[in-house]
Amino acid sequence: MIRAVDVIRKKRDGVPLADDEIDYFLKGCCSGDIPDYQTAAFLMATYFRGMNEKEVFSLTDSMVRSGKVVDLSGIKGTKVDKHSTGGVADTTTLVVCPLVASCGAPIAKMSGRGLGHTGGTLDKLEAIPGMKVSLTLDEFVNIVNSVGISIISQTDDLVPADKKLYSLRDVTATVDSIPLIASSVMSKKIAGGSDVIVLDVKVGKGAFMKDLKDAMALAKMMVNIGETSGRRTVAVLTDMNQPLGRAIGNSLEVIEACEALKGRGPSELMEVCLALGSYMLILAGIAQSFDIASKMLQDALVSGRGMDKLKEMVKAQGGDINALEDYSLLPQAKIKYELKAQEDFYISELDAEKLGLCAMKLGAGRAKKEDKIDLAVGMVINKKVGDYVNSGESVVTIHGNDERLVEEVLPEIKSAVKTSKQKVAKGKLIHAVVQRGLTQFL
Ligand code: URA
Ligand code: CA
């Protein structure tokens, strides 16, 4: 007979767990047969001891089976999904998914909400008046079949084990564990039902993984879980030391995505979108090489087909497409405050995590899952690392609805911006790509 205490002891002592032990523990913790204090101990033991590839696959598989796997068999073609481990000024999904869909790869994506310093696609979509993100599975499948893309919220029965484990991880300081993140992300992607999964693994100050070595370990673990589950999976490791794009906040990021799809996107955001999108098209079997894929995406961008695809999706989900042209129809902040340079300098650092937290404090994000957010507020970063700034030019435009909150975050935003009199090199944006049996540093 398996006992919870023995499983915990084994993990504590660094002995690999068997499949039935992991499954027993996971089922017990979800049903309530295993009390939270034992699950908490199990999580902490896992945090310190880690898990090997076999264990983490087994954990992910048990998590997937804790709920319902989405049946996408009603959608023709190879379904493609994309996931980011969490970024700041990262509106990639709203740009790359319409582009990829307009090249013929069906996208049936379930997204999450923002938490802490990172944003979430669902919140951004809800900034569009009328937009519905809670659809039935039938509605979802029908929209993907007719439009080629739909993005909705995760259903309640998608990996209930992750909700249980995450809420305990959140209060036991065990969120930032590589096997626990890998199983959390991949269980949801696998249960989401797509055939192809492209992962954007963020590395740097604003990411869960602060250094390349840890990010690489996470990426390899996730690719292995995906491939072992029969899903073609690629991970791209991208920089999250500074915010990716320029807009942080929900309305502001919708505007940035629309501008990007109209060919006016910030270069870093576009580079990451093209890289992720290219792998999505390759794994979907639509493009034969990275160069071909990249050319297809460029064509979709220049011709406006990507933008048309976003509009079709928004319309199908009840949103007002006029707001994607006339941005004044999106929620607007009352206060716009320019943080101006007092002298000439180069930007040497923009702390992504700090800026994300400032946007959260302005109301754009949540400190706790239950918090209400203000879709209008946030900030626009006018100068990025390596840019030269003349005295008097605006570095950051703060969009706020509460004078007191704007005053409160102002010194923190200032402290997130480091400057230099010397020229500063732009850092690397795409660090590596991890595929089945192949790791490529760029
Ligand atoms: N995102 C997830 O979905 N799960 C984690 O554990 C971390 C990031
Ligand atoms: Ca000057």
* Residue 331, helix vs strand vs coil: coil
Residue 442's pLDDT band, with cuts at 50, 70 and 90, is: confident
Measure 163 CA to ligand 2 centroid, in angstroms: 52
- What is the mean pLDDT of the segment spanning 124-141? 97
- Burial of 189-227, coded b for 16+ CB within 10 Å and e otherwise, reads bbbbbbbbbbbbbbbbbbbbbbebebbbebbbbbbbbbb
Q: For ligand 1, atom 7, name the residue with the nearest CA.
A: 181
- What is the mean pLDDT of the segment spanning 412-439? 94
pTM recorded for the entire structure: 0.95
Task: State whether the beta carbon of 185 lies less than 6 angstroms from ligand 1.
Answer: yes
Between CA 78 and CA 107 the distance in angstroms is: 9
* Residue 201, helix vs strand vs coil: strand
Please list the alpha-helical segments (H only) found in 303-438. 305-316, 352-359, 403-416
What pLDDT does 398 receive? Answer: 98
Q: With 90 as the cut, is the pLDDT of residue 441 above it?
A: no
Q: Tens digits of per-residue pLDDT, 284-298? A: 999 999 999 999 999
- What is the mean pLDDT of the segment spanning 56-74? 97
Task: State whether the beta carbon of 60 lies less than 6 angstroms from ligand 1.
Answer: no
Q: Which atom of ligand 1 is nearest to the CA of 180?
A: 6
Q: Which atom of ligand 1 is nearest to the CA of 188?
A: 3
Tokens 């439009």 identify what position?
A: 147
What pLDDT does 369 receive? Answer: 84
Percent of the chain beyond pLDDT 90?
Answer: 94
Q: Which atom of ligand 1 is nearest to the CA of 184?
A: 4
Task: State whether the beta carbon of 243 lies less than 6 angstroms from ligand 1.
Answer: no
Of 397, 396, 420, 417, the C-alpha closest to 344 is 420
Residue 243's pLDDT band, with cuts at 50, 70 and 90, is: very high
Percent of the chain beyond pLDDT 70?
Answer: 100
Between CA 96 and CA 280 the distance in angstroms is: 9
Q: Tens digits of per-residue pLDDT, 186-216? A: 999 999 999 999 999 999 999 999 999 999 9
What pLDDT does 155 receive? Answer: 87
- What is the mean pLDDT of the segment spanning 42-67? 98
Pocket test for ligand 1, best of 184, 222, 225 (most atoms within 8 A of CB): 184
313 touches 147 (CB < 8 A) = yes
What pLDDT does 437 receive? Answer: 79
Task: State whether the beta carbon of 86 lies less than 6 angstroms from ligand 1.
Answer: yes
Query: What distances in angstroms separate CA 316 from CA 28, 136, 140, 146, 206, one per listed residue?
Result: 41, 13, 10, 9, 34
What pLDDT does 186 receive? Answer: 98
Which ligand does the CA of 185 lie closest to? 1
Query: What distances in angstroms separate CA 249 from CA 61, 200, 245, 361, 442, one per listed residue?
Result: 35, 20, 11, 11, 30
14 by Cβ neighbours in 10 Å (0-12 / 13-18 / 19+) ranks as exposed
Q: What's the whole-number average pLDDT of the chain?
A: 96
- What is the mean pLDDT of the segment spanning 118-129? 95
Residue 370's pLDDT band, with cuts at 50, 70 and 90, is: confident
Q: With 90 as the cut, is the pLDDT of residue 430 above it?
A: yes
Between CA 305 and CA 193 the distance in angstroms is: 26
Amino acid at 340: K
CA dihedral sign, ordered 55, 228, 230, 199 = positive
CB atoms within 10 A of CB 347: 22
Measure 155 CA to ligand 1 centroid, in angstroms: 16
